[in-house]
Structure 1
Amino acid sequence: MGVGLSSGTGRPGRHLPRRDDPIGSLTGGLCERLRLRSGRVGTVRGHGYRVDALTFATEVERAAAGLSRRGICFGDVVGILAPVSPQRFLATYTVKAVGGRALPLSITSDTDTQCAVLTETDTRLLFVSADMAPRALELAERSRVRQVISFGTALGTTPFRELLQPSPDGSGYSPARGLFDNGILGYERTANGLLTTLYPYSDLMARFAELRDRLELTSDDVVAVDEGGDEVARVVLVALALWTGACVVAGAGCPPPEGRQVTVRCAPEPERVADPPADGGY
Structure 2
Amino acid sequence: MSNTKLIIEERAANIGNFMVGRLLPFRQKRMVGPFIFIDHMGPACLSDSENLDIAMHPHIGLSTLTYLFEGAIMHRDSLGTEVEIKPGAVNWMTAGKGVVHTERTPEYLRHSKKMLHGLQIWVALPKADEQCDPSFTHVSADEVPSWEDNNVHFKLIAGKAFGKQSPVPVYSPLYFIEIKSSETKTISIGEHLFGESALYILEGSIKSDGYTYETKQLLVAKDSTLCAFEIEANSTIYIFGGNAFPEERFIEWNFVASDKALIAKAKNDWKADKFPKVINETVRIPLPTPKRFGG
Please indicate, yes or no, whether the TM-score normalized by the shorter chain is above 0.5. Answer: no
TM-score between both structures, scaled by the size of structure 1? 0.28
- More strand, by proportion: 2
Give 1 or 2: higher helix fraction: 1
